[in-house]
């Protein structure tokens, strides 16, 4: 798949990461290609491909309200709605490639739109929109009240909180993330019939009202070094339950993010770094 011949197309890409959550980023404004699930799986392979958690595509927006359209594909080829770390990397990519000279860009995604603010060369703030606590929009559970976002899973033995940050998240509070049963529990929850489209599962340890630690199992991927939307979801749950303040530092395995949310009916902001690793091209 990766050797050059007359039947293959040359695709330029960038390898990037946000706190260890790594991406293959491709601009499809000045080049054209359709990435099938099979091609994405091969490209994402850590030994025989480029290797990445997600493939990010930047496309032209056909809506004048948005600067670009942004698509996210997991390493198994499935398209997902949101990726917070990816959003920061997309922002840096747009700057590095000269696709924008704005201090703020608005990009549409599969489900929502996000606003990316450039604070410095690699520090980027993303307006992630309003957290959605309506359980019936995340699961098959018949609960609709915005404040009633807790439920019991795994034979009603595990208390969880559900929220969507453009993509669905299940938040579990634990005493220590070091000993959290991530592998044992997360896959069972992710594949539960309660969640027809799957769900991301996060384990949150509250240090104090301004500081949490987090481990995240991303659907169709497994545990990752970091998850921006997972950090946003955990903090939103903590604030909604009056356990956290409006400004929280989140320590993930790959580094730290700052999440700010002033509560219901307000947008949530995520601030963190984005890193460019290298540029390359491949024949597909």
Q: Is 85 part of any known ligand binding site?
A: yes
Alpha carbons 26 and 143: distance in angstroms, whole number: 39
For 219, which DSSP code? T
SS3 state of residue 239? helix
Residue of 89, 170, 227, 232 marked active site:
227
Q: Is 84 marked within a binding site?
A: yes
Residue found under tokens 């850590």: 46
Q: Is 129 annotated as a binding residue?
A: no
Question: Is 46 labelled a binding residue?
Answer: no
Q: Please, is 253 exposed, middle or buried when counting C-beta atoms within 10 Å of its C-beta (0-12, 13-18, 19+)?
A: middle
Torsion angle defined by CA atoms of residues 100, 103, 108 and 110, in that order, rounded to the nearest 10 degrees: 100
Instruction: Confirm whether residue 200 is marked as ligand binding.
Output: yes
Instruction: Give yes or no: 83 in active site.
Output: yes
210 is in an annotated binding site: no
Q: Is 88 labeled as ligand-binding?
A: no
Kind and range of the H or E element at 227?
Answer: none
Query: Any known ligand binding at 76?
Result: no
Residue 229, marked binder: yes
Spatial separation of the C-alpha atoms in residues 96 and 152, rounded to whole Å = 45
Residue 275: closest CA among 18, 2, 8, 11: 18
Pairing of strands 10-18, 21-27: antiparallel
Say if residue 219 carries a ligand binding annotation: yes
Q: Is 187 annotated to bind ligand? A: no
Partners of 35 in the beta sheet? none
* Active-site residue, from 83, 89, 160, 170: 83
- CA atoms of 19 and 255, how far apart (whole Å): 5
Catalytic positions are 83, 227
Residues annotated in a binding site: 21, 54, 74, 84-85, 167, 200, 218-219, 228-229
Residues annotated in a binding site for substrate: 21, 54, 74, 84-85, 167, 200, 218-219, 228-229
């Amino acid at each position: 798949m990766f050797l050059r011949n007359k039947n293959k197309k040359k695709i330029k890409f960038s390898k990037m990461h946000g706190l260890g959550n790594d991406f293959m980023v491709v601009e499809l404004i000045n080049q054209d290609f359709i990435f099938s699930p099979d091609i994405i799986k091969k490209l994402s392979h850590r030994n025989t491909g480029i290797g990445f958690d997600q493939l990010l595509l930047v496309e032209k927006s056909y809506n004048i309200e948005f600067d670009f359209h942004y698509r996210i594909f997991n390493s198994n080829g499935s398209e997902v709605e949101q990726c917070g770390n990816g959003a920061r990397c997309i922002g840096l990519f747009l700057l590095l490639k000269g696709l924008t000279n704005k201090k703020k860009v608005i990009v549409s995604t599969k489900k929502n739109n996000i606003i990316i603010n450039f604070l410095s060369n690699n520090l980027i703030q993303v307006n992630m929109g309003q957290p959605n606590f309506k359980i019936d929009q995340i699961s098959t559970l018949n609960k609709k009240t915005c404040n009633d976002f807790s439920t019991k899973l795994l034979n009603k033995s595990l208390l969880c909180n559900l929220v969507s940050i453009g993509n669905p998240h299940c938040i579990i509070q634990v005493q220590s993330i070091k000993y959290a049963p991530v592998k044992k529990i997360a896959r069972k929850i992710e594949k539960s019939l309660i969640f027809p489209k799957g769900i991301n599962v996060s384990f949150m340890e509250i240090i104090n009202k301004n500081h949490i630690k987090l481990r995240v199992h991303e659907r169709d991927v497994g545990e990752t070094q970091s998850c921006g939307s997972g950090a946003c979801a955990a903090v939103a749950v903590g604030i909604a339950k009056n356990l956290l303040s409006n400004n929280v530092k989140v320590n993930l395995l790959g580094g730290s993010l700052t999440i700010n949310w002033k509560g219901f009916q307000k947008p949530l902001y995520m601030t963190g770094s984005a890193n460019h690793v290298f540029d390359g091209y491949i024949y597909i």
